Structure 1
């Protein structure tokens, strides 16, 4: 039996994409990387793992609906069943949400609902809280507001810098995301 096909959407370095590719076991084939930043480091990682890419520049489209329609066509053509966001710095619009309702998952570096949006690690660090963490959640129309699937706490240590905290959060992300993906897909 062939595995479920999934796409990863990423905009940056792709550390979570790489963690998925390096995972001992993943209940899906990462069949496509979608990237909105031509030249992003994640594209080099996709090439290293032999994962096809679809790269677009949102400024080249009249609207979000227009580029999401092109993405949907690509996903459907490749028979992609699930989308995993991994540092994708765009808000999913209605076109994508309707096409993959209940099958778009994101990872966020905080214990949502605390510190949604950009620079969640910096927000937590500046707020002086004792702990933050990682949340895996479904995507909805809001910014990091979808139903939570899993969370893991990361303590903020007295000696932490933003960079040391980020490294410890990423370590948790790289273990938690593949585990949650497997749990989700093996339930289906």
Structure 2
């Protein structure tokens, strides 16, 4: 993949947009060689749209409730996204299951962040499930999107310890801090043309990375 001078991003959200804000901040700080071409939500009242407007970004709303089927919604969403000619489509708390045709249309340029150390705990309620399972570490994963939910090739992960007395809320707060750190990093790698996929695994700079290499420790205080 050739390096891009400025990678065009379209960010999809459904809620408050905290990962969107982390991406906005990283782009503004020059840490990610990209521009956010648009922010699109399936909820016209999503709080994240206000963040986007405050940052001076184009915003779009494609209300899923206005469509009779997932397929109709997907087509409308795809049409709206493609107006902005994205190099990468970023799911940042986008709470809709996307259909096969949509995913195939953006194959290799559609990424998501999930609040667990995949393949553990795909789906919802990950923090409560992690606590119930008694795991010692939990975390977040950035991955390319495929037709299997939360099963696409991993780009980067970061983990946090599960502490005595943790609740789903306290664990979620620590994981979210890691999400804000690794999502801009993954987007930067894509924007720099450093990511590729071979045999279902992500390569960074052409090198196949061991699974433990996906875990990026936080910077030292």
TM-score tier, shorter chain, comes to over 0.9
Q: Which residue of 2 aligns with 1:166?
A: 172
Structure with higher Rg: it is: 2
With the length of structure 2 as denominator, give the TM-score of the two structures. Answer: 0.80
- C-alpha distance in structure 1 between counterparts of 2:128 and 2:32, whole Å: 31
Question: Unaligned stretches of 5+ in structure 1?
Answer: none
Q: Between Structure 1 and Structure 2, how many residues are aligned?
A: 188
Deviation per CA, 1:20-39: give whole Å up to 9, x if none. 01112222111111111121
With the length of structure 1 as denominator, give the TM-score of the two structures. Answer: 0.94
Deviation per CA, 1:80-123: give whole Å up to 9, x if none. 12111111111121232122111100001100111111121222
Equivalent in 104, 113, 124 of residue 130 of structure 2: 124
More helix, by proportion: 1
* 1:1-188 → structure 2 map (5 Å cutoff): 3-23=6-26, 24=29, 25-187=31-193
Deviation per CA, 1:106-164: give whole Å up to 9, x if none. 00110011111112122212222111111000111121011111111111011322222
Q: Deviating runs (4+, > 3 A) in structure 1?
A: none
Question: Unaligned stretches of 5+ in structure 2?
Answer: 195-221
Secondary structure of the corresponding residue to residue 117 of structure 1: coil
